[in-house]
Chain A
Amino acid sequence: DVKVTQSSRYLVKRTGEKVFLECVQDMDHENMFWYRQDPGLGLRLIYFSYDVKMKEKGDIPEGYSVSREKKERFSLILESASTNQTSMYLCASSLPWAETGELFFGEGSRLTVL
């Protein structure tokens, strides 16, 4: 069974703190993605990665960075958390697009920044 696991389901952090959101997939997928999900705004792409040590900016990368040191793991980093980064963060993975065109999502990490 396909599995994308986000290690933290709920986090509460203070403004200015550094935050790490971890995502691991067990499907040997090349592509990994980080989205944030907000009511009324849908899903917006933050960063994505096609391969180990590769990363590309999505539509809203400001205030975020990512790390992909191993194929199965894709981390989202908030260097200095701010209240407007309070959101649900979704990690996803996929095969190279031409093969299936399907994203597999994790359960999400709900981050609250006070």
Chain B
Amino acid sequence: AQRVTQPEKLLSVFKGAPVELKCNYSYSGSPELFWYVQYSRQRLQLLLRHISRESIKGFTADLNKGETSFHLKKPFAQEEDSAMYYCALRRTDKLIFGTGTRLQVFP
């Protein structure tokens, strides 16, 4: 079955520390993966997608097919990164989402 797993409900770090939000997937074909973010009192929005190989707000994510992972990383966390992060996997013309990880960045 196609599935996205985010093992951490909450990740707390101090400002300036590295951040890694974990995402694992199960998919039989070539996966298309995304990270979405929801800041407090804002709507859910796309952060980045693996096919773009881009860095957004200092975040990167590399698709590792061997480990079936798509972890989100940032070398130096900022307080404004505090938000809810969802990993998502494309299934035909739909997205299936993980359970989300709340990132708290303390000053």
List the interface of chain A (C-beta within 8 A of B): 4, 31, 33, 35, 40-45, 48, 50, 58-59, 90, 92, 96-97, 101-103, 105-108
Contacts and interface: CB of A to CB of B under 8 A. Distances in A.
Given A40-B9, A97-B90, A101-B34, A45 B96 contact: yes
Contacts of A41: 99
Contacts, number: 48
Interface of B: 6, 9, 32, 34, 36, 43-46, 49, 51, 86, 90, 92-100
Given A101-B32, A102-B46, 4 more contacts: A43-B97, A50-B93, A101-B34, A106-B43
22 contacts: A31-B93, A40-B99, A41-B99, A42-B6, A42-B86, A42-B100, A43-B44, A43-B100, A45-B96, A48-B93, A50-B93, A59-B96, A90-B44, A97-B93, A101-B32, A101-B34, A102-B46, A103-B36, A103-B95, A105-B43, A107-B43, A108-B43
